[in-house]
Amino acid sequence: MSHDEENEHPLVDTFARIMLVEVTRLGRVTPNIVEVTLAGADLAAMPRLGPDAFVYVFPPRNGSPGHPIARDFSWDAWRALPEADRPVGRYYTIRRHRPRQGEVDLHMVLHGEGPLAEWAGSARRGDPVGLWGPRAAFQRPPRQTSFLLASDEAGLPALAAILESLGPEAAGQAIIEASPETHTYPLDPPPGLAVR
């Protein structure tokens, strides 16, 4: 099974490739969401696929210098490795992309144990990171103005970007299921779209 066949929805991924970047800034969005800014020349060429564009993030490997993956990375080669040797990663939505600066911001939820949540909680400037992507799933139907959107706290960056992309004519509801710590997450919905 290919990496694409694992998904049930068609995705936009005409550009998916390896990007080698590093952490340049860290900050808190809410008590349990960290903003990680990544920078590198590869990000200047990354296209904008949609408001929910996401990348597969490979954090630094424990104690290993250099990037966690190489430019010749492939999912077939990854699957061929013994499980203990596979670089660990997870998908994250790109909250903001600044191509001129070669930067992206990722918002990472610090929810319990997990390799990326643990890394995000202790990340440092200069950490080398590998990205595979981007891909996107949200495709607004032409002329649609009524929306029902749902998100948990891990989906807040995608929800925020989608809300910002809808325009003032959009109406409907966005329903969020999240911990109290994330209730202060900044959202800017159109006037006719209620957030609950």
Domain 4-135 falls in which CATH fold?
Elongation Factor Tu (Ef-tu); domain 3 (2.40.30)
The model's pLDDT over 130-184, given as tens digits with 9 standing for 90+, comes to: 999 999 998 888 889 999 999 999 999 999 999 999 999 999 999 999 888 888 9
Structural tokens at position 117: 């949540």
Count each helix (H run) and each strand (E run) in the chain, helices first. Answer: 3, 9
* Closest alpha carbon to 148 in 104, 196, 98, 112: 196
Q: Which residues pair with 150 in a beta bridge?
A: 175
Q: What is the pTM of this model?
A: 0.88
- How far does CA 104 lie from the centroid of its chain? 9
Q: Pick the residue with more confidence: 48 or 40? A: 40
Is residue 144 left, alpha or beta, with left meaning phi > 0 and alpha meaning psi from -120 to 50?
A: beta
| DSSP code of residue 126 | T
Q: Report CA Rg, the chain.
A: 17
Percent of the chain with pLDDT over 70: 91
pLDDT at residue 81 greater than cutoff 50: yes
Q: What are phi and psi of 104, to 5 degrees?
A: -135, 150
Structural tokens at position 159: 């929800």
pLDDT at residue 3 greater than cutoff 80: no
65 contacts: CB under 8 Å, gap ≥ 6: none
**Residue pair 167/190 in contact by the 8 Å Cβ criterion:** yes
